[in-house]
């Protein structure tokens, strides 16, 4: 069949603190056509985070009502809060032909693998668990209790790494970025 190639969806997953966010923002500088889906969450905004930009910050009841209404493509409970991808965020970008990036944790990535098997799944792994602890402590955005919870989840998440199409070890930022860019560019240049 000919016609325009469908938009590509890239799922970037991996444990909290692995550097998904930094890699994605650098990647988007290199490939500006990539659009990032803005997730919804029930967690409190961190200082400097903006409503509708960093996340759609929702109350718990609103989040659950929107889950019931079928508005989410995927959603998961993570570290005491809900996170999810709104269908509207992805659909409008697919309709306009833009490639879309989802930055999500592992449970959500599994749901997308089921519902959108054509989406390209990329797992970002730390070189070692210790480096996650250093990053989470260094960014200073989470309490010691929250960091401990995130590290427990991270151990489980790391065990899931082989489930995904690609793995990129964030051992050195430039190198990892280059590898990620290579994967994304090669998929973008495939037709169909």
- Which 50-89 positions form the footprint of ligand 5GP (CB under 6 A)? 74, 76, 78, 83-85
Of the candidate spans 26-34, 101-109, 121-129, 174-182, the one that interacts with ligand 5GP by CB under 6 A turns out to be: 101-109
Binding-site member from 11, 16, 101, 177 for ligand 5GP (CB under 6 A): 16
Residues in the chain: 192
The residue among 108 and 126 lying less far from ligand 5GP, judged by its C-beta, is: 108
| 42 belongs to the binding site for ligand 5GP (CB under 6 A) | no
Of the candidate spans 2-10, 56-64, 102-110, 120-128, the one that interacts with ligand 5GP by CB under 6 A turns out to be: 102-110
**Residue that has been written with the tokens 């718990």 in this structure:** 60
Helix ranges (DSSP H) in the chain: 20-30, 60-68, 87-95, 106-115, 129-139, 144-159, 173-189
CB 157 within 8 A of CB 124: no
Cα–Cα distance measured from residue 192 to residue 189, given in angstroms and rounded to the nearest whole number:
9
- Partners of residue 169 on adjacent β-strands: 125
Where does this chain bind ligand 5GP (CB under 6 A)? Answer: 16, 20, 39, 43, 74, 76, 78, 83-85, 103-105, 107-108
């Amino acid at each position: 069949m000919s016609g325009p190639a469908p938009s590509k969806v890239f799922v970037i997953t991996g444990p909290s603190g692995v550097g998904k966010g930094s890699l994605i923002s650098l990647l988007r500088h290199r490939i500006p056509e990539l659009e990032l889906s803005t997730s919804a969450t029930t967690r409190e905004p961190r200082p400097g985070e903006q409503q509708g930009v960093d996340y759609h910050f929702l109350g718990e009841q609103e989040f659950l009502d929107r889950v019931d209404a079928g508005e989410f493509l995927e959603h998961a409970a993570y570290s005491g809060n809900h996170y999810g991808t709104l269908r509207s965020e992805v659909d409008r970008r697919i309709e306009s032909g833009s490639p879309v990036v989802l930055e999500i944790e592992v449970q959500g990535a599994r749901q997308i693998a089921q519902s959108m098997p054509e989406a390209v799944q990329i797992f970002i792994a730390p070189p070692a668990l210790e480096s996650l602890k250093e990053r989470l402590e260094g960014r200073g955005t989470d309490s010691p209790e929250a960091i401990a919870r995130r590290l427990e989840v991270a151990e489980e998440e790391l065990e899931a790494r082989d489930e995904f199409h690609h793995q990129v070890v964030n051992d050195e930022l430039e190198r990892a970025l280059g590898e990620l860019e290579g994967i994304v560019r090669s998929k973008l240049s495939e037709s169909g």
